[in-house]
Structure 1
Amino acid sequence: MPLPRLIAHRGLSAHAPENTLAAVRAASDAGCDWVELDVQLLGDGTPVIWHDDNLERCSNSRARLVELERDELAMLDAGSWFGARFAGEPIALLDDALALLAERGMGLNLELKVGSGRDPVALAQAVVPRLKNFLAPHGLLVSSFDRQALESARELDSELPLGLLYTSIPRRWAEDARRLRPLSVHADWRRFDQERLIEIRRADIAVYAYTVNDPEAFKPWWEHGVTGVISDDPTLFRDS
């Protein structure tokens, strides 16, 4: 599968409220071919596009996701915190995000976000079947920091493209790779280790850097074989 050089982090989150349909549209309008989004479950098992355990930072509510059900989402505003023109932006259902991405012909790096005390297996079981027919021509990566979530995803779909997420790449990365057969490894670029990058690229596994918003500071890492960056504003890299 062709992999992108640039992925818009939580949609075009420098210019629209993160993890919303508005952020996906903004990424598409800016010419971004891929977005990274986070998925979690509400209390009733509905998959939604959201990063935090609770709604306080990015909505007009302080509720925890586990306390919510799908029919309560209509009362919530996930856009006003970012700017008045996004007032009334809804919390996105995974199904709606997938439909929009398919309509726009975009690729997706979907992170299985396992909150404190949440069930990684239940998350994978709710999400992976929805991806069976999604974006085959355009591209899909399913990533997670949670190994149990990735193991469950692999059991559900033996061919699903997986990404191993780390803060810094540990020595055990090869053990994880043997078990999960990932397409890519993702890590915080500020904690990159040149030796690890060489090992991963020699294994023919892609490497993604997050969250990169300074093209000049990042420039030397391209020479070490980094496949691509996940950025709040990929347009910054157009000339790099």
Structure 2
Amino acid sequence: MPHPDLPRLIAHRGLSARAPENTLAAVRAAHDAGIDWVELDVQRLGDGTAVIWHDRDVARCSNGRGRLATLDIAAARRLDAGAWFAPAFAGERMATLEEMLALLVELGMGVNLELKVNRGHDPAALAEAAVPAVMEALPFERRLVSSFDERALRVSRALAGPERLALGALFDRVPRDWQARAEAVQAVSVHANWKPLKAERAKAIKAAGFALLCYTANDPDAFAPRWEWGVDAVISDDPTRFDTAS
């Protein structure tokens, strides 16, 4: 199966160490820092609008309260999604998927788009909203769709074959049946929490022909042995820290 052109370093939720996560500002910051790819989360609001957001609610990363499922785009637009991070980002708004894809096209960047299926949300509806949009906006070599949710991955695969859409299977602790689960959706990559990952499992993933991405690593020295296990890419809040260590 074809693989996208994965870089060694990917900015987690944009350059989230330096700008509010999952915002247009965070993606611009990654680009300005010389990072070519970002990892972003996509969900749906109550009115079906696809937006770039991680949490089930808006409390942590905005000046508002409430669950995404209760918001429409007009209400989401009224939220300040930047001031919580730093005064310089006051007025930053929740980005729609459409806005984010337009920025990625403008900047010539690639994306690992995670289908974030929080409790009470429909994984099929999310895949149907997000996958065609990212496929239309970006070329195959600059996009990868991933998820923890197996139904979201199955629906994504039904929307497009492996020659048109690269999928990544996300795990916290990579389970014993990881290969069967990844092969069931014709995934090209396995995405693992770097801390519990063991050398034996990492080498097995690589031997089976999958790309191996590790999240969310922010300590280059602690992470360093994983490169020797065959890790292809690290997803980091500040991947520039890895420039001289990787």
TM-score (norm 2): 0.96
Q: Secondary structure, in 3 states, of the residue corresponding to 1:186?
A: strand
Give distance in 2, aligned partners of 1:166 and 1:137.
Answer: 23
Q: Secondary structure, in 3 states, of the residue corresponding to 2:136?
A: coil
Q: Which residue of 2 aligns with 1:198?
A: 203
1:15-30 aligned at under 5 Å gives the runs 15-30=18-33
In the TM superposition, structure 1's runs of 4+ consecutive aligned residues that sit over 6 Å from their partners are none
Q: Which letter maps to 2:129? A: A
Give distance in 2, aligned partners of 1:121 and 1:28.
Answer: 31
Deviates more, 1:13-22 or 1:120-129: 120-129
Match of 2:15 among 9, 12, 15: 12
Listed one character per residue, the Cα deviations across residues 47-88 of structure 1 (whole Å, up to 9, x for unaligned) are 000000000000010111000001222211000000001001
| Aligned CA distance change for structure 1 residues 153 and 86 (closer, same or farther; 3 Å) | same
Give distance in 2, aligned partners of 1:3 and 1:76.
Answer: 34
Q: Which residue of 1 aligns with 2:131?
A: 128
1:221 maps onto 2:226 in alignment: yes
1:53 maps onto 2:36 in alignment: no
Listed one character per residue, the Cα deviations across residues 115-172 of structure 1 (whole Å, up to 9, x for unaligned) are 1011101110111111222221651110000000000000011131001100011111
Match of 2:45 among 27, 42, 46: 42
Assess if the C-alpha contact under 8 Å between 1:105 and 1:138 holds in 2.
Answer: no
Listed one character per residue, the Cα deviations across residues 2-53 of structure 1 (whole Å, up to 9, x for unaligned) are 2110000000000000000000000000000000000000001000000000
Assess if the C-alpha contact under 8 Å between 2:41 and 2:54 holds in 1.
Answer: yes
1:44-123 aligned at under 5 Å gives the runs 44-123=47-126
Assess if the C-alpha contact under 8 Å between 1:169 and 1:193 holds in 2.
Answer: no
Give distance in 1, aligned partners of 2:77 and 2:5.
Answer: 38
Identity in percent: 57
1:150 maps onto 2:137 in alignment: no
Q: Secondary structure, in 3 states, of the residue corresponding to 1:85?
A: helix
Q: Which residue of 1 aligns with 2:188?
A: 183
Where does the alignment leave 5 or more consecutive residues of structure 1 unmatched? none
Where does the alignment leave 5 or more consecutive residues of structure 2 unmatched? none
